[in-house]
Amino acid sequence: MIDVLFEELPTACGRSVGVATLNAPAALNALSLSMVRALTPMLRQWAYDNAIVGVVLQGAGEKAFCAGGDLRELYESLRANPGEPSDYARGFFAEEYQLDYLIHTFDKPILCWGHGIVMGGGIGLMSGASHRVVTSQSRLAMPEITVGLYPDVGGSWLLRRMPGRLGLFLALTGASLNAADALFCGLADLHLSAGARAEVLAAIQATSWSDSPRQNHAELSRVLARHEVRDLPRSNVREHFDLISELMAGDDLVDIAVRLRGLRREDPWLSGAAATFAKGSPTSAALAFELRRRVKHASLADVFRLEYDVSLGCSAHSDFVEGIRALLIAKDKSPRWSPASLEEVTTELVEDHFRPRWAGAHPLAALSATFGSACDVRTGTSLGKEQA
């Protein structure tokens, strides 16, 4: 099976829109390295092609846009190479982050149809799109704390820019977000009916597009606005915003942990979030907290470089492998974290995750704030203008 499908749909002006479809519905379109290696060169080609006015990024099936990264091959490579990041891990994280950065900096409009499950690596793909659509069936989350990782794929940059301390709460609890939550948090731009996808594509094809990417951004916004659905579900994050601010207050993670552990509410969303934190990797919590502190004034490119270092650090330590084992391999959902409690996580352990595990120039050194076009993951050509 071809895991990414590409097509170019003609429009009324004689130009075309590129459509990329993640095509692994049985795996909830989990993002594999082969998908990354298919998407990156095609997006680069479309960026240069004057006959392409924009891109639609979507997932096959009705259950998910993308449920996260495909971690099984990563798991096998790390098991075979304990104590050091494997070559596969080095390549996977570098190429995934380059793709995410490409989407963030793409000059032409990109519509991401975030229907169904959008988690982890799916957030990485969706967050950089210029036009991010959710539906009433959308469920978004960054639950990396459950697998011994942290919200990567630019998540540190994204979560830091959410209202108040919502980003920290989501990083620590992996809380699930509906369409209204996603709009409130800034993870999505529009709420459309799940059944409107074909109609939206038809409207895009019926539109006469401009030579100007800026004008085409505005035109796509107008097309989508005509299909927008204003009737939204109840937003958990909006309803509990003040409580979340109280829970996440202060500059000591242990204080925050004590408040989360002591949270007693009948609300299932809140209690579920607290339970996920309690069962999650203490080291992951510490990394998310430290990253939030470090990226406050960082550029998106610098955040991706920092996350690459930390992801290799996670690959060299035991919690990441153990988390994948418990959730996806043995599926016993009983990970044995080391250290087992937040109070045992030392400053030295956290710092070791930030230690460079590469020689020479940084593997993501080519990520740039200067507009060019897509980055070739093998040559390191400049990607494009950074949207801060």
- The catalytically annotated residue of 70, 152, 189, 307 is 152
| Torsion on CA atoms 313, 323, 349, 296, rounded to nearest 10 | 70
Known active-site residue 181: no
- How far is Cα 113 from Cα 126, in angstroms, rounded to an integer? 8
Sheet holding 110-114, edge to edge: 4-10, 16-22, 52-59, 110-114, 131-134, 190-191
Q: Where are the alpha helices (DSSP H) in 280-370?
A: 282-294, 300-316, 318-324, 347-353
Q: Where are the alpha helices (DSSP H) in 106-251?
A: 121-127, 155-160, 166-173, 179-185, 197-205, 213-225, 236-239, 241-247
Known active-site residue 69: yes
Known active-site residue 116: no
In the block, residue with structure tokens 């550029």: 299
- The catalytically annotated residue of 3, 96, 107, 144 is 144
Amino acid at 277: F
The answer to whether the bond into 213 is cis (omega within 30° of 0) is no
Known active-site residue 144: yes
Q: For residue 10, what are the β-bridge partners?
A: 16
- The catalytically annotated residue of 18, 54, 59, 69 is 69
| Torsion on CA atoms 170, 176, 178, 179, rounded to nearest 10 | 50
- The catalytically annotated residue of 114, 120, 121, 122 is 121
Catalytically active residues, by annotation = 69, 121, 144, 152
